[in-house]
Amino acid sequence: INYTFPVIAPTPQGISSFSNPFGGLYNFTMTSFNYTNILNNVKTTTSNLYNRTKQTAKNVATTVGHFASRILNNAKKYLGYNEKDGSYKKFTNGRNEAWCADFATYVARESGANIPHFSSVSQILNWGNKSNRFSKTPKAGDIIIFKGVDKHGKRVSHTGIVKEVKNGIVYTIEGNTKNKVNDCEYGLNDSRITGYVSVA
């Protein structure tokens, strides 16, 4: 059966009904609609989506903030652990080795971060790049990555945990700095800083 529906121009008051063109052959009902109701539904849906997105962002920020507090509290309790008395071996599982990466990942894992335990800075950097966690912008709780050369021209690397970023200064807690866990600070534009790996 071919049938061309009549052209019906909706009005702001909406369409409530029209006659069934098929008589008794088919049962046909057109549900009424109203432009005002449709517009209100769109506004409500958009508002709900915005509120859910806003709440999600707030939840993420809260989670990151809580993690930063945990990792910094854990890092601070190890200030002073050193090579002289062997206390640094807590982070290396008893091994004698350069231990800044051991310290950073040990404390991150202790704080609940889903990161493997790494014993080298390059491993942390590679993991950060592969997992899309590397950034040039620091925040509290991040692992800072240094790459450069020492005074003898030897290539070196180092790492630590970002404690705070304030007034153009990055404050850190680092393992294996002057042979112990130490507080340090650097200018944000320090050429030795490669970037930061988020572990939250």
pLDDT, tens digit, for every residue of 102-154? 999 999 999 999 999 999 999 999 999 999 999 999 999 999 999 876 666 66
Whether the CB-CB separation of 16 and 30 falls below 8 Å is answered with no
The pair of three-digit structure tokens given for residue 98, joined into one six-digit string? 């350069």
**SS3 per residue for 163-184:** EEEECCEEEEEEEEECCEEEEE
Q: How far is CA 200 from CA 14, 114, 115, 148, in A?
A: 53, 8, 10, 26
3 state DSSP class of 11:
coil
| pLDDT tens digit sequence for 155-184 | 669 999 999 999 999 999 999 999 999 999
Residue 15 has pLDDT above 60, yes or no: no
Alpha-carbon span 80 to 92, nearest angstrom = 16
Mean pLDDT computed over 34-50:
70
| pLDDT tens digit sequence for 62-96 | 445 688 999 999 999 999 999 999 999 999 999 99
Mean pLDDT computed over 25-50:
64
3 state DSSP class of 185:
strand
| pLDDT tens digit sequence for 51-60 | 667 655 454 4
Transcribe 93-132 into DSSP letters.
TT--S--HHHHHHHHHHHTT------SSHHHHHHHHHHTT
CB crowding 109-135: b at 16 or more within 10 Å, else e:
bebebebeebbebeebbebbeeeebbe
Sign of CA dihedral 50, 55, 56, 57: positive
Place of tokens 């057109």: 30
